[in-house]
Amino acid sequence: MNEHPAPHPRPDAPAVKVALLGCGVVGSQVARLLHEQADDLTARVGARVELVGVAVRRLGLTRDVELPEDLFTTDAHALVTREDVDVVVELIGGIEPARSLILAALEHGASVVSANKALLAEDGSTLFEAAERAHRDLYYEAAVAGAIPILRPLRESLAGDQVTRVLGIVNGTTNFVLDRMDSSGAGFDEALQEAQDLGYAEADPTADVEGFDAAAKAAILASLAFHTRVTAADVHREGIAEVTASDVASAAEMGCVVKLLAICAVQDGPDGPSVSARVHPAMIPRSHPLASVREAYNAVFVESEAAGQLMFYGPGAGGSPTASAVMGDLVTVARNRLSDVRGAGESSYADLPVLPMGSTETRYHVQIDVDDKAGVLAAVAQAFAEHGVSIQTVRQEGRGDDAQLVVVSHRASDADLAATVETLRGMANVRDVSSVMRVEGEAE
Ligand SMILES: NC(=O)C1=CN([C@@H]2O[C@H](COP(=O)(O)OP(=O)(O)OC[C@H]3O[C@@H](n4cnc5c(N)ncnc54)[C@H](OP(=O)(O)O)[C@@H]3O)[C@@H](O)[C@H]2O)C=CC1
Ligand SMILES: N[C@@H](CC=O)C(=O)O
C-alpha cells in the first residue's frame, strides 16, 4: 500500500500564509512543491500552508511553475509587511534588497526562511539579532550544500559534541566544471555554460568560479560548527579560474583529482582556541572519498571529538534539490508558528580569533619551468631547504625549453611555501613557477 495518510489539520487552525520572494530557479520549485504537496503539507504542519504572494523583479515572464497572475507583485516590501503573512521565504539572493526585506518581515512579525548564503555570511549577526528581538524563526538550511541537511545537524544534533574540523565540497558549479574537465576533457568555458544552463550557478557565476559562494558557505559552517562568528571576509579564498587543463592532467598523473575544497578547523593554542577557514582548489588522491563526488554533488565531512567522522553527501545545487531544503525549513517554521514557539536559534558566540592563512599547513604540488642545465635540480632543492620546506618527491619533465621540475612537498606552512616560491622566482635558472597547488588527503 502506498497511500498517503488523510490530512488531519487542527479543525480551528488558521492557514499558515506564505509570501515568496523570488520565483527563479529555486523559488519556482518551492512554489511547485507548495502546490503539488498541499495535502501532505497540511497533514505534516497541522494547518493549510497557503501561498499568498510572489514578489519578482519583472511581471509577465514565463516561469517554471504555473501560478495565478494575480499572485505576482513587484512590490516586495508591501508583500513582506502584509499583516496576514506568517512566513516569508526569501529566494532573491544577494545583499540588498534581500537584507532590508528580511528585516522588515521580521519586524512585522513574520518568520523567515532563506537560502541566501551571501547575505548570511556577510551580515548574519544583524539578521539573527533581528529574529531574536522579534521572537521569530530565521532558518536557512538551503544556504549550504543544497539538499543536504548539514546546518541542522551542526546546530542541533552535534550541539553537545566538540566539532574540530569540517571539510567538504560545497559548491556544485565548480565541482561540475572540474569533474567535466577531468572526466571528459571539456574546456572550462563549455563546462561552466553547462552548469549555468542546469541552474547550478549563481546569478553572477563569478561568485562560484572565484570561490565567493564556497567562502560564504565555509563561514556559515565554521560559525555553526565552532559556535563562533566567522564572516565571508575571514575566509581565505581562491577560486578555480586559474586551474588549467595541465593542472588537471598533472593531478591525474599523480593519481589525484582537483577539487575546490572548503576546510574549517578549530585548534588549541597557548592563547586559547582559534579557528581557520579556507577555500581553495586542491589535489586529492582518487582513493579519497571526496574524489568520487561527481557533477554538482556536494559532500561535507565533519570530525568531532565524541562522534568521530561523519559524512554528509547529496545534490548541492539546482532548483528542486534546493527547494527540498527550503520546504523542510518551511514545515518547521510553520509548525513553530502554530505552537507559538521559536525553534533552535544561534549559539551564544565565543568570537574566537581567526588564524591567518600563512600559518596553515598542508602539502604542495609545485611546477617549476627551468633551464635544462646541470645543477638546476640541486639549486631548486636548496631553495626549498632554505625555507624549511621538505621535498617528498621531485621529477623532471620535458627537455630544453620545455624542461620542468615537478616538486611535491611534505607538510609545510603557507608562509614558508610562499617564501620558497618567491626565492624560486628570483633564481637565474628558473623561468617561472607555473603552478602551485595544495595537496590534501591522507594518502602519501
Ligand atoms: N540555484 C541554486 O542551485 C541554489 C541557489 N541558492 C540560493 O537561492 C537564492 C535564489 O537563487 P536562484 O533561484 O538560483 O536565483 P534566480 O536568479 O534564478 O532567481 C532570483 C529570483 O529573484 C527575483 N528577484 C531578483 N531581484 C528582485 C527584487 N529586487 N525584487 C523582487 N524579486 C527579485 C527574480 O525575479 P525575475 O524572475 O523577475 O528576474 C527571480 O525570480 C540565492 O540566494 C541563491 O544563492 C542556494 C542553493 C542552491
Ligand atoms: N551556485 C551554487 C548554488 C548552490 O548553493 C553552487 O553551485 O553550489
Asked whether residue 128 carries a pLDDT value surpassing 80, the answer given is yes
Q: Report, as residue numbers or ranges, the catalytic residues.
A: 217
Helix (H, G, I), strand (E, B) or coil at 88: strand
202 Cβ below 6 A of ligand 2: yes
Asked whether residue 6 carries a pLDDT value surpassing 70, the answer given is no
Span 168-176, average pLDDT: 98
Q: Could you report the per-residue pLDDT of 381-423, keeping only the tens digit for each?
A: 999 999 999 999 999 988 888 899 999 999 999 999 999 999 9
Phi first, then psi, for residue 231 (nearest 5°) are: -105, 170
Residues that constitute the known binding site for NADPH: 117
- Record the pTM: 0.95
Look at 344 and 14; give whichever has higher pLDDT: 14
How far, in Å, from the CA of 231 to the mean position of ligand 1?
22
pLDDT category, 2, cuts 50, 70, 90? Answer: very low
Torsion of CA 215, 434, 408, 442, to 10 degrees: 20
Pick the residue whose CA is nearest to atom 31 on ligand 1.
56
Ligand 1 atom index nearest CA of 63: 37
Q: Please report the domains of the chain, with CATH numbers, ordered by start residue.
A: 16-146+321-339 (3.40.50.720), 151-314 (3.30.360.10), 357-439 (3.30.70.260)
How many CB atoms within 10 Å of residue 2? 3
Closest listed ligand to the CA of 217: 2
How far, in Å, from the CA of 437 to the mean position of ligand 2?
23
pLDDT at 9: 65
Phi first, then psi, for residue 325 (nearest 5°) are: -65, -40
210 Cβ below 6 A of ligand 2: no
How many CB atoms within 10 Å of residue 393? 12
Strands of 305-343, DSSP E: 308-315
